[in-house]
């Protein structure tokens, strides 16, 4: 019998893996400069929480998370969660497009196991970089049985948000991500996971009609922007 859950961390790059030329450099750094193995050296306590597996799927700035990469990420997570030995997934991701990736996965993941996205607003080399604690809290959430069936969760700054409601509100502050109308659904306090609500009523994951397991690319959709009587195809 396993004494700890098994969590797979899938890394995609972003600020959480970023590096600057000084410890006070919080803008203008290089996103995705560090590997997931380098990041986890700053979170040694994870070994006490879970059996950790890692995959460096990409290592890019999150503005470079294309639709092709979204499909690849969705496929990787679905395949990972089919493994009976894996209890949940944590994704490290840049914050510029974190909310978009989170909601996409919220609709296409076909498992009730926990899927958690974490990121950071400060690069890994900065003073008080929050990435290590966000990774730790994300793994704790993924290990918690209460996280099952809640869809994709976003864990940042000690708070737990639903991918459906979370949004980025500021470019540089660590409390940037908020759920302005609906609120957060839980929090991490002293290494423990607390939820405020039992259920998320909107359809997600196993209940949606969206499935990326059998496709390799997303359909192209034309958008017509109309302004003052003029139309422009994009």
pLDDT in tens, 211-220: 888 788 887 8
Query: What is the pLDDT at residue 197?
Result: 79
CB-based contacts of 210, cutoff 8 Å, min separation 6:
107, 108
- Name the β-bridge partners of 159: 156, 187
Query: What is the pLDDT at residue 216?
Result: 82
pLDDT in tens, 17-38: 999 999 999 999 999 999 999 9
CB-based contacts of 87, cutoff 8 Å, min separation 6:
5, 6, 7, 50, 113, 114, 142, 143
The catalytic site residues sit at 15
The DSSP 8-state label assigned to residue 30 in this structure reads B
Higher pLDDT, 224 or 132: 132
The CATH architecture of the domain made up of 6-233 is: 3-Layer(aba) Sandwich (3.40)
Query: What is the DSSP track for 85-144?
Result: T--EEEEE--STTHHHHHHHHHHH---SS-EEEE--SS-TTSTT--HHHHHHHHHHHHH-
pLDDT in tens, 59-102: 999 999 999 999 999 999 999 999 999 999 999 999 999 999 99
Quick one: residue 63, left, alpha or beta (phi over 0 = left, psi -120 to 50 = alpha)? alpha
Are the CB atoms for 210 and 107 separated by under 8 Å? yes
Token code pair at residue 105: 């996965």
Query: What is the pLDDT at residue 234?
Result: 47
pLDDT in tens, 173-213: 999 999 888 889 999 998 899 999 776 667 788 778 788 88
Token code pair at residue 184: 């957060």
pTM for the complete prediction? 0.88
Domain borders along the chain are 6-233
CB-based contacts of 94, cutoff 8 Å, min separation 6:
12, 13, 14, 15, 16, 31, 32, 60, 61, 62, 63, 65, 119
CA gap 179, 170 in Å, rounded = 13
Query: What is the pLDDT at residue 98?
Result: 96
């Amino acid at each position: 019998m396993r004494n700890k859950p098994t969590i797979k961390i899938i890394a995609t790059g972003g600020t959480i893996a970023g590096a600057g030329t000084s410890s006070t450099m919080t803008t203008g750094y290089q996103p995705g400069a560090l590997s997931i193995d380098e990041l986890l050296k700053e979170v040694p306590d994870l070994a006490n929480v879970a059996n950790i597996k890692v995959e460096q799927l990409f290592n890019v700035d999150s503005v470079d998370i294309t639709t092709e990469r979204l499909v690849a990420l969705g496929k990787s997570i679905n395949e990972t969660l089919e493994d009976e030995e894996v209890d949940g997934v944590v994704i490290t991701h840049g914050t510029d497009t974190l909310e978009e990736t989170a909601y996409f996965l919220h609709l296409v993941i076909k498992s009730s196991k926990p899927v958690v996205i974490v990121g950071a607003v400060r690069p890994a080399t900065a003073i008080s970089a929050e990435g290590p604690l966000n990774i730790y809290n994300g793994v704790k959430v993924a290990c918690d049985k209460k996280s099952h069936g809640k869809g994709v969760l976003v864990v940042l700054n000690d708070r737990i948000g639903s991918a459906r409601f979370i949004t980025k509100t500021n470019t540089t502050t660590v409390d940037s991500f908020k759920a302005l109308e609906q609120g957060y659904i839980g929090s991490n306090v002293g290494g423990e996971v607390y939820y405020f609500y039992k259920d998320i009523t909107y359809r997600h994951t196993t209940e949606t009609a969206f499935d990326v397991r059998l496709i390799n690319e997303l359909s192209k959709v034309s958008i017509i922007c109309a302004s003052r009587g003029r139309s422009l195809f994009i």
